[in-house]
């Protein structure tokens, strides 16, 4: 199976490279050589026309790449749109024109209109509401995928809160730093925002499972990829504290926190990836490396 992969050095992409089944030929698209893949196509995803240098004869295109900066709006908008929207359009067009076997796009759970804490988990047919440039760009890419799904099997995985050993400033990495150094974790309400954290290796296994079960041509297939637990910010911070033997410090403020808990029914019934790690199991895998990376960075 010959697979074109963007984002191969990211949190999830490196797990796809590590866990790729025997017989897969991974072709990474990156600015520099990517270890562990059969070939790297040197390209800048923000450049118009980058797809002209991509190979034909692909069994799948997997678009995992993310813009490095996505929080500083509006300054970040051009880069986010270039990677999440423009590059998606070029990759879809390349796949359709060259007869790629399927297209898989990494979307986000934040396209959903969040529920309230205590309400039912989010299903793939629930209402969408994009309030950030990041979620808006991902939803825009999903809409681009829709017409192409009539030409090649196309699937969007809406990924919930992913975490791993990468020190990237995302939610779980930030919580680890706060608990480790005794900085306050801010909560809205009693538990704070609720989500379904999922280890990056489990996201990668879901991607591998998805590529083994391509959808039918005709409609964009959307699948939630979230962890097995609905956890508030408090729950996650307390779990981190148990693993590293530190008591979290909390501060609360008034507000109604959103809930982005995942309904995994479709994921488990159709894609059937291996059983995922619990949050504490994932932390036990990651925290030694994450803390060592932070200590090394502090000493340099």
Q: Give me the CATH number covering residue 215.
A: 3.40.50.720
253 found inside a domain: no
Q: What was the pLDDT predicted at 72?
A: 80
Containing structural domain, residue 61? 2-166+198-228+261-277
CB 208 within 8 A of CB 21: yes
96 found inside a domain: yes
Sorting pLDDT into bands at 50, 70 and 90, what band is 85? Answer: very high
189 found inside a domain: no
Predicted confidence (pLDDT) at residue 287 exceeds the cutoff of 90: no
Q: What was the pLDDT predicted at 165?
A: 79
Q: What was the pLDDT predicted at 68?
A: 76
How does pLDDT run across 116-143, given as a tens digit for each residue? 888 899 999 999 999 999 999 999 999 9
What is the Cα–Cα distance from 225 to 87, expressed in whole angstroms?
22
Sorting pLDDT into bands at 50, 70 and 90, what band is 300? Answer: low
Predicted confidence (pLDDT) at residue 222 exceeds the cutoff of 80: yes
* Structural domain count, the chain: 1
Q: Which helix (H) or strand (E) holds 254?
A: none
Mean pLDDT throughout 32-60?
96
How does pLDDT run across 265-286, given as a tens digit for each residue? 999 999 999 999 999 999 988 8
Name 16's Cβ contacts closer than 8 Å, sequence gap at least 6.
5, 8, 26, 62, 64, 204, 207, 208
Q: Is 0.85 surpassed by the pTM of this model?
A: yes
29 found inside a domain: yes
CB 108 within 8 A of CB 134: yes
């Amino acid at each position: 199976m010959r697979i074109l992969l963007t984002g191969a050095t990211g949190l999830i992409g490196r797990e796809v490279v590590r866990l790729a089944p025997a017989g897969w030929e991974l072709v990474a698209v990156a600015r520099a050589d990517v270890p562990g893949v059969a070939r790297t196509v040197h390209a800048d995803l923000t450049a118009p026309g980058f797809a002209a240098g991509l190979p034909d004869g692909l069994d799948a295109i997997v678009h995992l790449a993310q813009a490095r900066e996505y929080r500083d709006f509006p300054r970040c908008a051009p880069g986010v749109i270039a990677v999440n929207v423009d590059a998606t359009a070029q990759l879809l067009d390349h796949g359709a024109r060259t007869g790629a076997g399927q297209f898989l796009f990494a979307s986000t759970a934040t396209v959903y209109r969040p529920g309230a804490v205590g309400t039912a988990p989010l299903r793939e047919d629930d209402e969408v509401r994009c309030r950030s440039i990041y979620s808006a760009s991902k939803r825009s890419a999903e809409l681009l995928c829709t017409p192409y799904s009539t030409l090649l099997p196309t699937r969007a995985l809406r990924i919930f809160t992913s975490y791993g050993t990468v020190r990237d400033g995302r939610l779980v990495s930030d919580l680890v730093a706060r608990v480790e150094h005794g900085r306050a974790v801010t909560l809205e309400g009693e538990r704070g925002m609720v989500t379904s954290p999922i280890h990056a290796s489990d996201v990668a296994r879901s991607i591998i499972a998805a590529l083994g079960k391509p959808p039918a041509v005709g409609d964009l297939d959307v699948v939630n990829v979230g962890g097995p637990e609905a956890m508030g910010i408090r729950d996650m911070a307390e779990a981190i504290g148990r693993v590293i033997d530190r008591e979290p410090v909390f501060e609360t403020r008034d507000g109604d926190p959103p809930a982005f808990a995942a309904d995994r029914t479709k994921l488990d019934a159709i894609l059937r990836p291996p059983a995922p790690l619990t949050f504490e199991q994932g932390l036990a895998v990651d925290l030694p490396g994450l803390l060592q990376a932070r200590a090394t960075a502090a000493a340099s």
